Amino acid sequence: MRELQYRAPGELAWCEVAEPRISAPGQALVRPLAVARCDLDLPMVRDGLFPGPFPVGHEMVVEVAEVGSGVRSVQPGQRALVPFQPSCGACASCLRGRFAACATYRAPAGAAFGFGPAGGDHGGAVADLLLVPAADHLLLATPPELSSTVACTLADNVSDGYRAVGPQLLERPGADVLVVGGYGQSIGLYAVGFAVGMGASSVRYADPDPERRRIAATLGAEALAVPDGWPRRFDRAEITVDFSGDPLGLAATLRSTRDNGVCTSVALYFGGDVPLPLLEMYTRGCTLNVSRTDSRAHLATVLALVGQGVFDPAAVPITVAPWEQAATAWLQPAVKLVLQRP
């Protein structure tokens, strides 16, 4: 079969590899129908963040091709969403609902499809077939009214946007929200969309990038330019999101978090330790959440909210590229790139 591999910084290639095979009763083989590019995928391939070569892609909607003898909940031919983090559903962490910390699948960068050895060598989504462990636990039925083009975006970045504001707004109904972008393309915008849809009293979006500010405004946010670098702080909000990827942006976001407010950082900081304004955070009682999202934990909620029309992920522009052009399309600029199989 063919899979798209990261070969070297800036270089992708289609490669012929052996088909994966079912080797345990709980597994399934799936055929990706559409694959979205995660905000991390572009720097990962452009800059070579993890050692290659490895098959890329981890935001996907699939058709089930074959199931092991123990699989009950899905059948061949069915369309399904796959959380981007493999988990077993049966270990102590999974039983507590902490699927991203699954003890069965551990990896240096956290278990994930499409990350190569850093993610535990689980195969990539831009491929003819992918082996999914614990299929009954992992595969989620995809409602027919949700197109594959949109559905594939849900597994990672849309879920990441939800977890940055959704549980916080359920706990603090009607709170105001400040999202600080700049690191990647889409997660901050998805956070804006959920914040508006879930009834935040006001939503502001700060980003040096004018195109993302324009999109945020169409989603219902007040867009804030950042003309002279990150300010010391913005006007404070009860719920804040850091997606700046810049230590100064993170510090500004923390200082912009209201007394007893909560800040969630969804950006990655690769460059070593990052200073925090801890005395201010202590004095004002600011909580900082730092983690990867937990795809399996949030995906069903996200599917339900999208189904109820709380937020339409298609409101963040999607650039569709033909599957065959993946090796070049994967590196092109786009807020959300989706590879679509014919």
| Span interacting with Zn ion, options 148-156, 181-189, 199-207, 239-247, rule CB under 5 A | 148-156
Query: At residue 67, what are phi and psi to the nearest 5 degrees?
Result: -125, 150
Measured CA to CA in angstroms, residue 28 lies from 13, 56, 73, 95, 320 at distances of 26, 19, 11, 21, 27
Closest CA to 63 of 155, 133, 128, 154: 128
Applying CB under 5 A, the site for Zn ion has a residue count of 9
Partners of 140 in beta bridges: 81
With contacts defined by CB under 5 A, name the span among 125-133, 152-160, 170-178, 200-208 that binds Zn ion: 152-160
**Contacts to Zn ion from residues 82-101, by CB under 5 A:** 87-88, 91, 94
Comparing CB distances to Zn ion, the nearer of 156 and 294 is 156
Closest CA to 175 of 190, 164, 189: 164
In whole angstroms, the minimum distance from the beta carbon of 157 to Zn ion comes to 6
Verify binding: residue 104, Zn ion, rule CB under 5 A.
yes
38 binds Zn ion (CB under 5 A): yes
Q: How far is the CB of 225 from Zn ion (least distance, A)?
A: 28
Please say whether the beta carbons of 282 and 255 come within 8 A. no
Interface stretch with Zn ion, choices 3-11, 103-111, 217-225, 262-270 (CB under 5 A): 103-111
Is residue 102 a contact residue for Zn ion (CB under 5 A)? yes
Of the chain, the end-to-end C-alpha distance in Å amounts to 17
CA distance 94 to 87: 7
- Asked whether position 125 contacts Zn ion by CB under 5 A, the answer is no
CB closer to Zn ion out of 185 and 257:
185
Between 90 and 288, CB nearer to Zn ion = 90
* CA 245 – CA 248 distance, rounded (Å): 9
What is residue 234's DSSP assignment?
Answer: -
Shortest-Cβ-distance residue relative to Zn ion: 38
Measured CA to CA, the distance from residue 263 to residue 246 in angstroms comes to 15
HSE toward the beta carbon, residue 22, CA cutoff 13 A:
17
Q: Does 175 sit near Zn ion (CB under 5 A)? A: no
Q: What is the DSSP string of 117-171?
A: GGGTS---SSBS-EEESSHHHH-EE--TTS-HHHHTTIIIIIHHHHHHHHHHHHH
Least separation in angstroms between residue 53's CB and Zn ion is 19
Asked if 239 interacts with Zn ion (CB under 5 A), we say no
Piece of 15-23, 44-52, 156-164, 281-289 that binds Zn ion (CB under 5 A): 156-164
For Zn ion, which residue of 29, 100, 113, 156 counts as binding (CB under 5 A)?
A: 156
Which string of x and - marks every residue 44-83 that binds Zn ion (by CB under 5 A)?
Answer: ----------------------------------------
Nearer to Zn ion, 125 or 286 (CB): 125
Interaction site with Zn ion (CB under 5 A): 38, 40, 87-88, 91, 94, 102, 104, 156
